Chains A and B, each alone.
Chain A
């Protein structure tokens, strides 16, 4: 083989390898989950930070809590705290999320047809105000063995009634014991990878506890539906007095107490102690009250991804972060495309 031939062969080989490389990397890219968020406030009104985050992370779709379904005094289901769109979302798809309290599904004589009709119709009324379109409804319900059958029937009826794609949130215990809790006939399921522990006056984190998560992790691959994943970026304060939980304070983190002389903040502890009675961010703290800050660190989010990835034999289509709120997002502002980077780890 003369040199020119060798060079030619090498050239083609290189081109070939490059082409393969380019193709494979392209393929890999398309497999990465998309970034999405839950929006859980009652007035839809995105501020600049929130809009920027959506843009930076190429977010195409957000899951907006439209309303809760609760029971009124006569045990009739009604929509509680419906969302109001103060602004029309630009260039982004909105998926209505309906949180149905389990006690609704526990009603033995509940009229599921009428409930499905009402929910579908009410979503329509909300969307009409800003002329929003949608093609998916997500149902969020922590159903139990007692409410299981009602819930499964309800999903079937809502699907028929709305003609939309349906997705449902799935808790860890519903994944592990799916034979008992059953699997709703939805198009897509979202695993809620948070709210793992009890809200209690101890030092544990109720949002995420890896030891608890690991008890369920191996079940993920056995679940009959492919899962999208919801990850926590929220934080809250568990307000404690006399060793009892008295309140949950949302949208605060440790930095909220920095440089406030009314509180004692220790670097290595998630417990903040009230030094002087005072009012702060709408909450009254009495001397000696404790606030346990529950939040998930960046390192822990990466750990979650690693753990989940190790158990799934497919890549989730999207990762939904809970929840879109500048108070939560500020923790990650050091990195412009933080959420994109997290999802690319899958």
Chain B
């Protein structure tokens, strides 16, 4: 009862599943296969829900549901509903479902059957007589049927034990259901007059035949009885078993024909039929087509083949046979979605390149086919074809022709919100694609659609399946290139932030001026709203730049205009300088003063004032050296330079935006102050410490040289790690190491370094 089409049957067709496996394996890591990320054409806008799992989805076996997990439960609700009517509601639906499907009730159902058949009043009778009218003859017959159906399922269940370490199901799979069981179902079918029961025993007989692998008998029984059987769900479920038997007997032509009938008439079984359909050769396919009794049946066969492999060929054939077929419409959505996926190119570098790439690569035959069918207006949903033809014309660069098709579509299309939105989206894509330059009047044309796309749809999108995110991303990129071409770097950056925009002062000033401008037009406001960075982020960035240029007053002034960023709390004490760089240790250490971005800068200013007044020069120089060291990528206060603009705490220098990579990895300022400290050091302990701190900076300079920030070459980064792994370059003979060893080996600090710094220890013992 549970199984309409068991896993066992599917196992027969594991070749198909294997095919999916390979496609998936190839898709691994390839963004191209994420359909929402590259599609403007929403099948849900026009095609019936019954086709939904068959919409194009290169990532999964089936669209939306991923995989078909309904093999044992697909018809449960329908079955319960049918029996509920049959027993005149003398038993609740919940109880009917329990008696049919609940595995833990096996013994109870067997006992109830004793009552139903032999009138034995047992414990189960006592229990269930409170729940249902057990005197009712229909209820009794239901119990008897459920008992027999469950018994059949129990035998078949062995075939589902595929993931256990029990070999029995393999060794016995060909003779699973004993003939006596089949015969008993057939006898019931032959002897019962009640048409409802007769129909169900008929189905159970076919199912039992299937699992007893009695092919000729099954075929004979079906042929003899089918004219008396209503063409309901049970009929098509039985037909799929029969198709499975033909398949097992390698009569693929007949099997594929029967699958196509099930595909056509029983939408619930579409996922099953498309997985089972597996034509072997052209000749055999021709033979299958000959089984079809009329053009509609032939169209259904092509509909399966279209899904299986070739939408274009299928549409072409169905159109010749039966142009009103709705199968053709779902195939059209697959054709378009596949083409979008194939043409997807996120790496275009100009509007021209983008358009040329599309027009050159578009499949001409698909284009001609859709164009022809749309023009002839013979289909059931001509607006869908007009819209598809419009879209393909957009992709082909024929924007005026697209406009005409969209007009045609609009005249006869459904008024559902998704359909209306779909047309608006495609028109927008066409309008923007037709632009080679962007000026004020064009900005006005685009504005309402951009507002809709960037703000209204994400906030208020009632139909989650509507595919607008690709248009949103694509349009930003396309518009950015139009502005770039017009040398408007600021507007280009607003639509598509780039990693090196802030490398130049004119860009920075231009953006700041734009963001600070009052009385913006709605279009300007929209650009600002889609831009992730604010003027505060830019002020903070300028504060960081002034800091590392040793312009502390300017840094304080900019930081004070950075809104919340001035209050960012530093995780460790930026004025400490340990022998080992251990950020986590520094962060965990108790800190008397918790510095913020601004209070740090003010403290730096205070220290500089002391230096100017000749107060405690050595220590203050060391403190400044430590602070500038810790503000860099290598220090414990990296959070100082984090913002939306400059990014989060970087894991590697390549996580820092290009415009600030060099600045944040540079150790020059720290070195400057450590040198100053070394110069005025009063004793060897102080000199030793300054020398060691300089060595830390030298080490960072060495690391920096391994990266090539100007080229931003990812392979360089990779090579760096390869080099360190294979050559084990942990350290070199820094000047600071040498000085420490040759001049200050008698100091206490030297001993501390020996104890804490393994590299130095190694250096000392190797030299």
Q: Which residues of A contact B (CB under 8 A)?
A: 72, 76, 78-79, 81-82, 84, 118, 121-122, 125-126, 129, 242, 244-248, 262, 277-282, 284, 286
> Does A122 contact B167, Cβ atoms closer than 8 Å?
yes
Known A129-B171, A279-B282; judge A121-B310 contact (CB<8 A).
no
The distance from the CB of A138 to the nearest CB of chain B, in whole angstroms, is 19
In the assembled complex, B163 has its CB within 8 A of some CB on chain A: yes
> Taking CB as reference atom, which chain A residue is nearest B167?
A125
CA distance A143 to B22 in the complex (A): 21
CA distance A84 to B174 in the complex (A): 11
Known A79-B165, A242-B342; judge A281-B310 contact (CB<8 A).
no
> Does A122 contact B279, Cβ atoms closer than 8 Å?
no
> Does A282 contact B167, Cβ atoms closer than 8 Å?
no
> Does B163 contact A78, Cβ atoms closer than 8 Å?
yes
Chain B residues with CB under 8 A of A121? 165
Partner of A84, one of B22, B163, B171, B279: B171
The distance from the CB of B35 to the nearest CB of chain A, in whole angstroms, is 16
The distance from the CB of A177 to the nearest CB of chain B, in whole angstroms, is 14
Q: Which residues of B contact A (CB under 8 A)?
A: 14-15, 19, 22-23, 26, 162-168, 170-171, 278-282, 284-285, 308-310, 313, 342
CA distance A76 to B164 in the complex (A): 10
Chain B residues with CB under 8 A of A126? 167
CA distance A244 to B23 in the complex (A): 10
CA distance A84 to B175 in the complex (A): 14
The dominant DSSP class at the B interface is helix
Known A79-B165, A118-B165, A279-B285; judge A286-B22 contact (CB<8 A).
no
Chain B residues with CB under 8 A of A247? 19, 22-23
Chain B residues with CB under 8 A of A72? 163
> Does A277 contact B164, Cβ atoms closer than 8 Å?
no
> Taking CB as reference atom, which chain B residue is nearest A74?
B163
> Does B313 contact A78, Cβ atoms closer than 8 Å?
no
The distance from the CB of B496 to the nearest CB of chain A, in whole angstroms, is 28
> Does B313 contact A277, Cβ atoms closer than 8 Å?
yes
The contact sample of 10 A-B pairs, CB cut-off 8 A, is: A78-B162, A82-B170, A84-B171, A118-B165, A242-B342, A246-B26, A248-B22, A279-B282, A279-B309, A286-B310
> Does A284 contact B308, Cβ atoms closer than 8 Å?
yes
> Taking CB as reference atom, which chain A residue is nearest B171?
A129
Known A78-B165, A284-B309; judge A245-B282 contact (CB<8 A).
no
CA distance A84 to B23 in the complex (A): 28
Known A277-B313, A284-B308; judge A246-B23 contact (CB<8 A).
yes
> Does A286 contact B26, Cβ atoms closer than 8 Å?
no
Known A126-B167, A284-B309; judge A278-B26 contact (CB<8 A).
no
> Does A281 contact B280, Cβ atoms closer than 8 Å?
yes
Partner of A282, one of B14, B22, B278, B310: B278
> Does A277 contact B310, Cβ atoms closer than 8 Å?
yes
CA distance A245 to B30 in the complex (A): 13
Chain A residues with CB under 8 A of B167? 79, 82, 122, 125-126, 129
Chain B residues with CB under 8 A of A242? 342
> Does B280 contact A279, Cβ atoms closer than 8 Å?
yes
> Does A245 contact B164, Cβ atoms closer than 8 Å?
no
> Does B22 contact A246, Cβ atoms closer than 8 Å?
yes
Chain B residues with CB under 8 A of A76? 163
> Taking CB as reference atom, which chain B residue is nearest A285?
B309
CA distance A126 to B166 in the complex (A): 10
Q: Which of B23, B165, B280, B281 has the most CB of A within 10 A?
A: B165
> Taking CB as reference atom, which chain B residue is nearest A284?
B309
Chain B residues with CB under 8 A of A262? 282
> Does A245 contact B26, Cβ atoms closer than 8 Å?
yes
Given A125-B166, A125-B168, A279-B309, 17 other A-B contacts at CB below 8 A? A78-B162, A78-B164, A81-B14, A82-B167, A84-B171, A122-B167, A246-B22, A246-B23, A247-B22, A262-B282, A278-B282, A280-B281, A280-B282, A281-B280, A281-B281, A282-B279, A284-B309
CA distance A129 to B171 in the complex (A): 7
> Taking CB as reference atom, which chain A residue is nearest B164?
A78
> Taking CB as reference atom, which chain A residue is nearest B284?
A279
The distance from the CB of B509 to the nearest CB of chain A, in whole angstroms, is 46
Chain B residues with CB under 8 A of A278? 282
The distance from the CB of A64 to the nearest CB of chain B, in whole angstroms, is 14
Chain B residues with CB under 8 A of A277? 310, 313
> Taking CB as reference atom, which chain B residue is nearest A241?
B342
> Does A279 contact B281, Cβ atoms closer than 8 Å?
yes
Chain A residues with CB under 8 A of B313? 277
CA distance A118 to B163 in the complex (A): 12
The distance from the CB of A289 to the nearest CB of chain B, in whole angstroms, is 10
The distance from the CB of A129 to the nearest CB of chain B, in whole angstroms, is 5
Chain A residues with CB under 8 A of B171? 84, 125, 129
> Does B26 contact A244, Cβ atoms closer than 8 Å?
yes
Known A245-B26, A247-B22; judge A122-B342 contact (CB<8 A).
no
Chain B residues with CB under 8 A of A248? 22
Chain A residues with CB under 8 A of B164? 78
CA distance A280 to B15 in the complex (A): 15
Chain B residues with CB under 8 A of A281? 280-281
The distance from the CB of A276 to the nearest CB of chain B, in whole angstroms, is 9
The distance from the CB of A275 to the nearest CB of chain B, in whole angstroms, is 13
> Taking CB as reference atom, which chain A residue is nearest B341?
A242
Known A79-B165, A286-B309; judge A279-B23 contact (CB<8 A).
no
Chain A residues with CB under 8 A of B168? 125
CA distance A244 to B342 in the complex (A): 11
Chain B residues with CB under 8 A of A81? 14
Q: Which of A76, A79, A281 has the most CB of B within 10 A?
A: A79
> Taking CB as reference atom, which chain A residue is nearest B173?
A84
> Taking CB as reference atom, which chain B residue is nearest A260?
B282
> Does A282 contact B15, Cβ atoms closer than 8 Å?
yes
Partner of B279, one of A244, A246, A279: A279
> Does B165 contact A282, Cβ atoms closer than 8 Å?
no
Chain A residues with CB under 8 A of B309? 279, 284, 286
The distance from the CB of B215 to the nearest CB of chain A, in whole angstroms, is 17
> Taking CB as reference atom, which chain A residue is nearest B283?
A279
CA distance A316 to B15 in the complex (A): 37
The distance from the CB of A286 to the nearest CB of chain B, in whole angstroms, is 6
Chain A residues with CB under 8 A of B166? 125
Chain A residues with CB under 8 A of B284? 279
Chain A residues with CB under 8 A of B281? 279-282
CA distance A72 to B23 in the complex (A): 20
CA distance A82 to B162 in the complex (A): 10
CA distance A76 to B281 in the complex (A): 39
> Taking CB as reference atom, which chain A residue is nearest B166?
A125
The distance from the CB of A241 to the nearest CB of chain B, in whole angstroms, is 9
The distance from the CB of A124 to the nearest CB of chain B, in whole angstroms, is 9
CA distance A223 to B56 in the complex (A): 50
CA distance A78 to B161 in the complex (A): 11
> Taking CB as reference atom, which chain B residue is nearest A282?
B280
CA distance A16 to B278 in the complex (A): 70
Chain A residues with CB under 8 A of B26? 244-246
CA distance A248 to B21 in the complex (A): 11
CA distance A122 to B166 in the complex (A): 7
Chain A residues with CB under 8 A of B342? 242
CA distance A218 to B278 in the complex (A): 47
The distance from the CB of A282 to the nearest CB of chain B, in whole angstroms, is 5
> Taking CB as reference atom, which chain A residue is nearest B15?
A282
CA distance A242 to B162 in the complex (A): 37
CA distance A121 to B308 in the complex (A): 40
Chain A residues with CB under 8 A of B162? 78
> Taking CB as reference atom, which chain A residue is nearest B26?
A245
> Taking CB as reference atom, which chain A residue is nearest B280?
A282
The distance from the CB of A285 to the nearest CB of chain B, in whole angstroms, is 9
The distance from the CB of B748 to the nearest CB of chain A, in whole angstroms, is 44
Q: Which of B14, B26, B167, B342 has the most CB of A within 10 A?
A: B167
CA distance A76 to B168 in the complex (A): 19
> Taking CB as reference atom, which chain B residue is nearest A86?
B174
> Does B165 contact A122, Cβ atoms closer than 8 Å?
yes
Chain B residues with CB under 8 A of A286? 309-310
A-B pairs with the 8 shortest C-beta distances? A284-B309, A125-B167, A78-B163, A72-B163, A118-B165, A282-B280, A129-B171, A279-B279
